[in-house]
Chain A
């Protein structure tokens, strides 16, 4: 590692309760966006047994050692850090694929986080789904927690459970990312809006991410969408990274796609006011 001066980095855990809501994608993209802003970042995959952050980042072929090797002393910390292909200040510590969640204890996680915080500005931990040992490990060394949810009933209910557990662990109130918003469904009244979700969970919102096919194509290629200047979701992740850096960035306004018939009707003077219903939330926390 080239940076030798000691820093006092922030340890942020990204979690959700429910699986499949976008934790790993969020971790990868916030890491890439923060690194692109010149911060030193290490991503820690705490989903032991279900390693995924490596493949999302396109680093799956470079793994030699993993987090369990580090805590069990089979390698030095720096040997388990994989440097990103695109950003030379972004690193990954992969999860072990053949072990289970009990392979690491909360004490070991805390010690690891303390060591990493001396070397990096940001330590982002990708939590496993669930509320058991793996989740407890993931928050053990955290300073802050970000909860990712989708605007649907099961992930919001699970997010609420996570909020309670984070508070019980005496960590600060977590901040919320509402991921996979479909503006057209919200406009039709068939998807909960960001306001609905933030009102239900009553925690501060740090960002919203539209459902966007560029996430799928970027993940297929192992490239963080946050590095794609044309992607809406990428912009959303860059905005969240900026808020983590303390910048006051307005929330993205999501507009439903404007169909040809609708444009024609509007041109004729019908129903123009309904377009572009803003999907806004509370302050940026």
Chain B
């Protein structure tokens, strides 16, 4: 198999992955957004709102906060990954 692969140049440094897998990943991603009808603008607004609300209670690492919509067996779900800084500086500073 290694011989065949090198003979036919199936994968090399410029094409580490078949384009079919790229197509599939891109489709899965775009369809999730098509389904929930969320534009990048709305996603950005949701991200900002989550940051603002959580920052009242926690020292959130805003730059590393990620929100995504994932397609799962049980339907589409919004998943937020919110990194919190240790030490709690500012966390109790609300109100």
Contact = CB atoms under 8 A, between A and B. Distances in A.
The judgment on whether A and B are partners is: yes
Interface of A: 151-153, 156-157, 160-161, 164, 185-186, 188-193, 196, 200, 261-262, 265, 270-271, 273-274
B56 interface: no
A82 to B, nearest CB: 40
B4 A274 contact: yes
Contacts of A192: 20, 23-24
Contacts of B1: 270-271, 273-274
Interface stretch (B27-35, B46-54, B61-69, B87-95): B27-35
B30 A157 contact: yes
A152 B19 contact: no
A113 to B, nearest CB: 30
Contact residues on B (Cβ < 8 Å of other chain), bracket? 10 to 19
A157 B20 contact: no
B34 A193 contact: no
24 contacts: A151-B20, A152-B23, A153-B23, A153-B26, A157-B27, A157-B30, A157-B31, A161-B34, A164-B35, A189-B10, A189-B17, A189-B18, A189-B20, A190-B19, A190-B20, A196-B20, A196-B24, A200-B24, A261-B7, A265-B3, A265-B4, A270-B1, A270-B3, A274-B4
Contacts of A273: 1
A176 to B, nearest CB: 14
Given A262-B4, A265-B4, A273-B1, 11 more contacts: A151-B20, A156-B27, A189-B18, A196-B20, A200-B31, A270-B1, A270-B4, A271-B1, A271-B4, A274-B1, A274-B4
Contacts of B26: 153
B81 interface: no
A188 B8 CA distance: 10
Interface of B: 1, 3-4, 7, 10, 17-21, 23-24, 26-28, 30-31, 34-35
A202 B24 CA distance: 13
B27 A188 contact: no
A274 B34 CA distance: 37
A186 B20 contact: yes
A189 B19 contact: yes
Nearest to B31: A160
Candidate in A161, A164, A190, A261 with the most chain B CB atoms within 10 angstroms:
A190
B31 A188 contact: no
Contacts of B31: 157, 160, 200
